[in-house]
Amino acid sequence: MAFGATSTSGLTPAGQLPIVVNGQVLSNPYEMVGIDSGNKTGFFPIYYFSQALAKIGIQATWNGVTHTWALTDSNVNAANVQVAGGIGTGNTTVTVNGTVVKKFNTQVARDPAAGPKGPITTYLPIYYINNILKALNINGSFSGQAGLNIQTQTAVNTSTEALSPIQVSGQTVGTGADNAPAVAAVGNAITFSTTVTDANGNPVPNQVVQFLVSTTDNLTVTDASGNTLNYAKLSAPIVIGNKTYDDYYQVTTNSQGVATMKVTSSASTTTEPLYVIAQLPIQSNGQYIRSSAVTAQWGLPGTLVLAPLWGNQTNPDNLTFSSSQDPTKGLIAMVATMLPGNGQNASSVAGQAVKFYVSAANVAGIGAPTVNITDSQGNVLSGGVVQVGANGQFGPQTIYTTTTNSQGQAIMYLNANVPTQNGTPLTGAVAMAQVSAQLVNGGSSQGNSYLQWSFQDQPAKIANVSPANVLNSPSLTDQNRENPTSGSNLTITGTAEDAAGQPGAERAVGHCGRADWQRTNWRRRYGQLCGERAEVQVQRLVV
């Protein structure tokens, strides 16, 4: 394991981070903390990095005499490898197929995993890890929260693993469903677990699982062994249904294939909902393998807890209108949970009358959106029509009375329908509802929660796609791909159309700005809507 010393150091252990290749944990080496160029930074062991590269076909060798880290990859043209910042200077040289591509300073320390008498090994500043991955066009990333994660195209396409529905435990009431959120007292832990199985139903041990979460505010998160987990930011928010996920916690399955995350809230009052969904960091047929979502919330014992609770009118729960094509797309369950007092159980709060108060506003002033109290199928209840106020003002309150079930939870369903003109949904329409709840007997109350429905027209397809500057025929199929010259530009244009094939202006197509398509050898240069035509220019990377 040991590498030759490159410089003396004062590196100190900061904690273990996993190295994951194609979803499998190879090792959990220690990150070290030290000084590089006068700044405090993290360091990672070259030895374990080399192991990960070997798993994807890149040979990495260390020469302790010359302080050279030599990388060999027959699929790479070393003359075209450029690491960010240029070659630079330092006591260590990195080569690719014999060509020098980078220099930086390394330091040495005993590997904490091997004990106080373990071998000396060499550490590189973590700053350079992502730069090297990118320069070699490797689909991977490193973060101080999630460690080193590398994927290959083979793993992306062939995974047959599955995730079980998330099991929720530790809550006072509820199951974790949207209409039965798992609710616990502030300061108590709720545990989320999922099991990974292979194609034959056998548990998969040592498999990385990412728990995507909607919030990290006031949360302390640990694994099954009590080790504190740090969250990592997703590269972009993930929207699934009406729920948005911004961060994730990464855990590894045990010998029974079970991944566990334990979450405790330290908030001083009722929290916003925590949405959780489990995901494998590999794909099957181009799609990530995910579990179904669960909902959790915390409150004070003996009080009414409203879920979902979005108490800031400027930051409401963002939903999508229902329509004639999808009459329950905007349907949401509002649940008022009477959290039992200390020493009480759920039966003590069952059968209590609860009033929901609902008012609504036409925020955008476009058309006449409707907001209704419905059953679970979206059918409007008697007296369930909510009067929508004009000019962004909330209309009069509509009151809905129901009773708590055996879990102490009272449920009301709300649905909002997009306004139309001649049968066509009106783009830009926005409606907002304000919801509160109160025990009829004069007990606890909770409010307000703000929900906002909107409608933004989306193109159903891009027609008349016409690649330019290509070498073969213009037919874009999986069997006959375009092959422009390496380093040249390829411009793809097309017309944004609705499902009937009609072009429409002012429709966003794709994302503007820079983005790396790391799983192929293409890098998007820019995406831009030109009138009714969308144009994306990509450049093939020279590798």
- The 10 Å Cβ neighbour count of residue 202 is 10
- In the prediction, which pLDDT does 456 show? 63
Cα gap 299→173, rounded to integer Å: 11
- Give the model's pLDDT for residue 164: 96
CA angle 286-137-543, nearest 5°?
Answer: 115
88 vs 94: CA distance, rounded Å: 11
- Residue 155: its H or E element: helix 153-158
Quote the Cα angle for 483-489-493, to 5°.
Answer: 85
User: What's the whole-model pTM score?
Assistant: 0.64
pLDDT at position 540:
35
* Tokens describing residue 347: 């039966």
Task: Write the pLDDT tens digit of every residue in 244-258.
Answer: 899 999 999 999 999
Q: Which of 387, 325, 399, 397 is closest to 362 using CA atoms? A: 387
Predicted pLDDT of residue 426: 93
CA distance linking residue 366 with residue 347, whole number of Å? 46
Confidence bin at 431 (pLDDT 50/70/90): very high
For residue 307, list its beta bridge partners: 335
Residues near 15 by beta carbon (within 8 Å), at least 6 away in sequence = 30, 31
308: preceding bond cis by omega (within 30 degrees): yes
Q: How confident is the model at residue 505 (pLDDT cuts 50, 70, 90)?
A: very low
**Which residues, listed in sequence order, are joined to residue 333 by a DSSP beta bridge?**
413
**CA–CA distance, 281 with 290 (Å, rounded to integer):** 9
The reported pLDDT for the residue numbered 110 is 87
Q: Thinking of the domain 162-299, which architecture would CATH place it in?
A: Sandwich (2.60)
Three-class SS state of 44: strand
The reply to whether 306-455 shares the fold of 162-299 is yes
Label residue 150 by pLDDT band (50, 70, 90).
confident
> For the segment 372-412, what is each residue's pLDDT rounded down to a tens digit?
999 999 999 999 999 999 999 999 999 999 999 999 999 99
Q: Which residues contact 406 (CB under 8 A, 6 or more apart)?
A: 346, 347, 350
Question: Which run of H or of E encompasses 331?
Answer: none
C-alpha 16/C-alpha 25 separation (Å) is 12
Domain map (residue ranges) of the chain: 11-150, 162-299, 306-455
pLDDT score at 537:
39
**Residue with the larger pLDDT of the pair 218 and 505:** 218
- Return the C-alpha torsion angle 339, 345, 351, 354, nearest 10: -10
Closest of 506, 409, 408, 503 to residue 462, by C-alpha: 503
At 171, the pLDDT band (50, 70, 90 cuts) reads very high
Point out which residues pair with 147 in neighbouring strands: 143
Strands (E), 418-521: 420-421, 424-425, 430-439, 445-454, 461-467, 489-497, 515-517
pLDDT digits (tens, 9 = 90+) for 252-291: 999 999 999 999 999 887 788 999 999 998 767 667 889 9
CB-based burial label for 300 (10 Å; 0-12, 13-18, 19+): middle
C-alpha–C-alpha distance, residues 543 and 539, integer Å: 12
Phi, then psi, of 268 in degrees rounded to 5: -90, -5
- Among 413, 214, 449, 455, which Cα is nearest to 315's? 449
474: pLDDT strictly greater than 60:
no
Q: Which CATH architecture has domain 306-455?
A: Sandwich (2.60)
Measured CA to CA, the distance from residue 73 to residue 136 in angstroms comes to 9
314: amino acid identity, one letter: T
Show the CA angle centred on residue 423, arms to residues 326 and 332, nearest 5°.
30
| pLDDT, mean of residues 335-344 | 89
Q: What percent of the chain has pLDDT over 90?
A: 44
